[in-house]
Structure 1
Amino acid sequence: MPLPSTFPTEAVLYRASSQLNFAEVLAIKVVGQPAKPQWRPLVGLKDMPDHRATNKYLLKGYRAQDDISLRTALFRGHSETVNIWSHLAGSLLLLPCLFGDYYAHWPWLSTVLRVHAAIGICCGFASVIFHISESFPLDVYNRCIQLDYAFAFLATVSHSALLAAVFFRETPQVAVPLLALLLLISVLGVRLFVAQTDADATNTQRHADRGSTIRVAGIMLAPVLLAVPICAHVLLFDPDFGPVVLSWMLSFAVAALAWLFKLPERLFPPGTFDYVGNSHNVMHVMVLVTFLFLHNGSRALLAKETRLLEAETIEVKHGNHCF
């Protein structure tokens, strides 16, 4: 039996979705929900509003703009499935880092390590929330992309903070002011992200999306540039920490290049990587690798130095006893 004429049709819902807020769409979905839940049809790039049509090389597999089903987002194969589950898995993989060893010789550095892990976990969950909300009404989408960008920026700052903390581990009088500066950059950066996405909410043309990407990349470069002298010194003069930093830099570069230049899909016929293997998928995986390289590498270095300090302490005690 067809729905009563008072219920909106799918076509009406789709045309109106960009002007509805989340509460209105949810009310319509509840009233018009069929007795047996069914998958909504996936749609193509040509059916996307401008704020979602940001990659011309991905042609199909998109959830319809008014689809607010968590069941669809989490348990159906679509263009965001890999993005959602890769960051969910990544957050779970980072959980053990939150409860890693405590280094009595560097108590403040132990705190930096825990903050680094916590930000990584939150960054993963923020990305999951954003990719779930991609097909939600624009008011929800804008808030979720604010959350995603803010934690992506904080994650970048946390990398620089951990690099600085490990590099200046024996000179906290240098490390602490630098960490305070990075904290200030974090606060200012998050405020800029919120202001930027609020401004972009009123203009979702494609040229605005590109401009937003450039501004986001520029803001994220600030903490990276602070880390450049540290990385250069470590690579040249620190054989223990150098391989860790090199691995971190290479994985970070792969993530950034894939995201900025839409690789590998740019090199293949459009539609090749609609579901798996596109630039956003690559970036998600490499962001996790970046976190694990730097975090676990830093812990391995500190564990090694802790063992050496303990051995020296034992030798000194035994030497004093013999004397």
Structure 2
Amino acid sequence: MTMRAAVCVRPGGPEVLEIRELPVPTVRDGWSLVQVKGAGLNRSELRTRQGHSPNVRFPRVLGIECVGVVAASTDPTMPEGTTVAAVMGEMGREYDGGYAQYALLPNSLLMPITTSLPWEVFAALPETYLTAQGALDALGIVRQGRLLIRGGTSSVGMAAASIASGYGLEIAATTRRQAKVDALTAVGVDHVLVDTGESLPASVHSVWAEGADYVLDLVGASTAVESLRLVRRGGTVCVAGSLSGWLIPDFEPIAMIPSGTKLTAFHSDNLKGSAGRTVLQRVVHEVEAGVYRPNVDRVFALDDIVAAHRHMEDNQATGKVVMRPESA
């Protein structure tokens, strides 16, 4: 039995993703086979494709998350037909991930979920909302205060705005494109700041003279130091994204972290498997109830994975990009 998959054959541009016919993986102890119904696409997969992820051997089926149905199980608590989601755990890096019609995944990674959502909507939630919720928790947010989201029109940024709006926070969010302002307003952002790369500190302080209470930085390495100066003294910055890469060059903590200001981080690997199941099930219920927005930008077919990566790499997306295998 064979399946179709998008294989990253070597490091490079979007064109190194090739659609191939592969054998359906054989189930082994501790792992179950999932028929993939949808996979959210993530910018970390761009960097893996480009060759920046350590210890990744090519060819590799990318994809750090997916949703689907258990097709063959080695876990009696998750029989065939169970709806599941899976996130991280080295999917698409140490072993093949979600860019395929089937994925062989560790049982410990699978999260059984009850949902009536369409597959493309469900597929937009796991990595995005688990990261957003975890990052807001890492910030220590209470149900009031002022939150600045950097990288606001990323899928995680829009999810965080949706959650934070429900908390009653006053929210500001950045975007580099004027055309994306309305999308941020629609998810509960009070102040949309168009970041030209030159005047953001002045824009933030014109809204909040003392700065934000919290900054959720989804841009990452290139902006983290500046974000530390956009919070009030004693405020908190959480770096939970890597739109600009993973490393902060020449970082000097004592010189660069204002006294009393806190810097933390969140990685979605902390909410994989059973640790994330309760959170994700709650998110699914909130989306079904219309409280949270799924923020799906575009849905691509497996055959269009190259176009999907170009769409992400060119920063065209406002929200989550989703891939659906054609026959799933």
TM above 0.5: no
Structure richer in strand, relative to its length: 2
Alignment TM-score, normalising by the size of structure 2: 0.28
Alignment TM-score, normalising by the size of structure 1: 0.28
- Rg (Cα) greater in structure: 1
